[in-house]
Amino acid sequence: MRLTVHSGEDVFEGDFPPGTTLLSAFGALGIVIDTPCGGAGKCGKCRVRVEGSASLSLPGQVEREILGEALKAGIRLACMTGITGDCHVFLDPGSFQAIATIDEISFEGCDPLVRRRSLAIPSGGVKRDILSTLVENTRENLDLSDFYTGSLDGEISIYTRPGKLVAIDGRRSSNLGVALDIGTTTIATALLDLDSGEVLAKENSMNPQRAFGHDVISRITHTVVEREGLKTLSSVARKAVSKLIEVLCERSERRPGDINEVVVSGNTTMTHLLFGFPVRSIAIAPFSPFYGGIVRKKAGEIGLDLSPFSEVLALPAISGYVGGDIVAGILSTGLREREDELLIDLGTNGEIVISSGGSLLCCSTAAGPAFEGGNITCGVGNVSGAIEKVSFDKSLTLKTIGDTSPSGICGSGLISIVSLFLKNGMIEALGRFSDLQSWPGELRDRFDKKRNGFILSGDVYITLKDLRQFQLAKAALRTGIEVLLKSFYKGGLKKIRIAGGFGSKIDIGDLFTTGILPPWLDCEIVVEGNTSLRGAIATLLYRSSLAEIDAIIGCSKYIELSSLDEFRNMYIDRMGYI
């Protein structure tokens, strides 16, 4: 069945088996729309206009209740509507999610993974063959067994990776690299000039695989229950990465054909899906990934149209749930060489690493996607308009990303809102809303009984169910921190580094108020932002990173928390706010 999606001047087309929901088809086409309820048919936010309703499944009770009269105008819910024939769907161009922010990053000097040297072909006689003479001039001991040969007119450039000649070519104007952090919720990228080390452009987007579930387990399940599931999810990720690279190049006026290296620092499941590796084993004890070490593939093998000798390198995982993104975080913070420091990644897997006695003790806590805006009724990623902070002083003030009108709640906004509720006595110890009469007047007026939620602005609100999602996430992370520190660590903690795609907006006080951090912690706390992307950049720019990555893997010890009684017992306890 042919689906054609129109959005402004853009047209997307694809063929799908009958019964595929519009939302799944959008995901496969690399289109991300707002789905605050994760496609559960509850939020009514995934509205699209359709033409050819005879080619779509009939609206069920959920759609009839949510859409009412709008159904007659051709409006449908993408998550509830199945394709039964050829049809056209129209999206408001503004309904695509665009990430608004990414950390400021700067690096000094470089010794990149792909080096370029300009050399002139000797005109006179040479002692040995011309190629060996050229390579001798690089003063590197290089394997010459397999390299790309481009134009050899005039001044040429020699491209090398550690220990290897990779290309001789005279026509390329730049030597570029892409750093790629692929997470469950967000994909962050940066384009770099590998000759100068300059960050030329940065861009990120929501991971369109969200249409197949907001957490890694849903996506793994999709690859198991759907015959083409792995292929579909791989293709969705690859298209999203291609699109981001296109945007990076457009913005910096560079050519994708000059990109010679891509370094991926993703969580284990997302990296596997990008490379097309099976992920089933990550969901079953002992949760082993399909691959462990550094993986390299030709860019073309994973659907990226870059330079003819471009390769994609994925950083190694420590375990199924402590992936290359955390290795990159350890690399970029220099954690291995720092004693008594804790790195916490506030993402879907909630990874925690502590440097102790020359080892790196790691665990993950299955926090779920709440800290990234997932499974929250009006939750969004770091998009323009996302509420990132709230404050109350006689009246409620909302701070949104880009200072535009509120479009949803991102992870840091959620933490800030829960903190505000707790400070104003609006949540009881077990997590329920307290008696409305005890709330400050202006806040009390914002409670909507019909939605059983607190209205932040217009259609953006937070419900009791959302508070439960937050409790699950914070209990998992808090328990992980406590068990790791109390049972596996005997030192005196000097510093905590908070990482995550939204880290720079988090108020450290809110982490204590909401109970994400235990109150007895007494050390310096710094907010690091996206350490994963920084680690991918460091790998591209400094060859010494590869040896450091080996050292990180060599001294890392993974602790499986879910098998420990003390984790299970404490987890229930930490759900509350006592």
* C-beta of 256 vs 368, nearer to ligand FES: 368
Using CB under 6 A as the binding rule, whether residue 446 contacts ligand FES is answered as no
> Which residues 275-304 are close enough to bind ligand FES by CB under 6 A?
none
Beta strands in 78-233 (DSSP E): 87-91, 115-119, 148-149, 156-161, 164-169, 176-182, 186-193, 199-206
Using CB under 6 A as the binding rule, whether residue 79 contacts ligand FES is answered as yes
Helices and strands in the chain: count of H runs, count of E runs: 14, 27
Task: Report helix, strand or coil for 485.
Answer: helix
User: How deeply is 435 buried, as exposed, middle or buried, from its count of CB atoms within 10 A (0-12, 13-18, 19+)?
Assistant: exposed
Using CB under 6 A as the binding rule, whether residue 43 contacts ligand FES is answered as yes
Least separation in angstroms between CB 73 and ligand FES: 17
Using CB under 6 A as the binding rule, whether residue 465 contacts ligand FES is answered as no
Using CB under 6 A as the binding rule, whether residue 390 contacts ligand FES is answered as no
Least separation in angstroms between CB 468 and ligand FES: 18
What gap in Å lies between CA 285 and CA 566, rounded to an integer?
A: 19
CA angle, 372 then 327 then 414, to 5°: 15
Using CB under 6 A as the binding rule, whether residue 46 contacts ligand FES is answered as yes
Q: Which stretch binds ligand FES (CB under 6 A): 29-37, 287-295, 351-359, 441-449?
A: 29-37
Q: Is the peptide bond before 208 cis (omega within 30 degrees of 0)?
A: no
Q: Are 575 and 378 in contact (CB under 8 A)?
A: no
Among 12, 29, 32, 39, binds ligand FES (CB under 6 A): 39
Using CB under 6 A as the binding rule, whether residue 176 contacts ligand FES is answered as no
What gap in Å lies between CA 543 and CA 340, rounded to an integer?
A: 27
* C-beta of 409 vs 506, nearer to ligand FES: 409
Using CB under 6 A as the binding rule, whether residue 37 contacts ligand FES is answered as yes
Using CB under 6 A as the binding rule, whether residue 89 contacts ligand FES is answered as no
Using CB under 6 A as the binding rule, whether residue 363 contacts ligand FES is answered as no
Using CB under 6 A as the binding rule, whether residue 211 contacts ligand FES is answered as no
For residue 9, the one-letter residue type is E
Least separation in angstroms between CB 219 and ligand FES: 16
Q: Are 305 and 217 in contact (CB under 8 A)?
A: no
What gap in Å lies between CA 578 and CA 575, rounded to an integer?
A: 9
What would the DSSP string read from start to end of 51-93? E-GGGBPPP-HHHHHHHGGGGGGTEEETTT-BB-S-EEEEE-G
Number of residues that bind ligand FES (CB under 6 A): 12
In terms of Cα–Cα distance, which of 250, 118, 109 is closest to 173?
Answer: 118
* C-beta of 64 vs 557, nearer to ligand FES: 64
Handedness of CA 519, 524, 528, 532 (dihedral sign): negative
Using CB under 6 A as the binding rule, whether residue 427 contacts ligand FES is answered as no
Least separation in angstroms between CB 450 and ligand FES: 17
Using CB under 6 A as the binding rule, whether residue 44 contacts ligand FES is answered as yes
* C-beta of 80 vs 274, nearer to ligand FES: 80
User: How deeply is 221 buried, as exposed, middle or buried, from its count of CB atoms within 10 A (0-12, 13-18, 19+)?
Assistant: middle
Residue whose tokens read 């709008």: 70
Using CB under 6 A as the binding rule, whether residue 35 contacts ligand FES is answered as yes
* C-beta of 22 vs 263, nearer to ligand FES: 22
CA angle, 179 then 298 then 167, to 5°: 90
Which backbone phi and psi does 560 adopt, to 5 degrees?
-85, 105
Using CB under 6 A as the binding rule, whether residue 41 contacts ligand FES is answered as yes
Among 6, 42, 116, 243, binds ligand FES (CB under 6 A): 42
Q: Which stretch binds ligand FES (CB under 6 A): 31-39, 194-202, 479-487, 539-547?
A: 31-39
Which backbone phi and psi does 68 adopt, to 5 degrees?
50, -125
Which backbone phi and psi does 369 adopt, to 5 degrees?
-85, 5
* C-beta of 44 vs 112, nearer to ligand FES: 44
Q: Which stretch binds ligand FES (CB under 6 A): 44-52, 207-215, 476-484, 492-500?
A: 44-52
Least separation in angstroms between CB 247 and ligand FES: 25
Q: Which stretch binds ligand FES (CB under 6 A): 30-38, 343-351, 387-395, 425-433?
A: 30-38
Least separation in angstroms between CB 65 and ligand FES: 11
Among 3, 22, 75, 77, binds ligand FES (CB under 6 A): 77
Using CB under 6 A as the binding rule, whether residue 485 contacts ligand FES is answered as no
Q: Which stretch binds ligand FES (CB under 6 A): 41-49, 259-267, 367-375, 533-541?
A: 41-49
Assigned token pair, 19: 């019964």
Binding site for ligand FES (CB under 6 A): 35-37, 39, 41-46, 77, 79
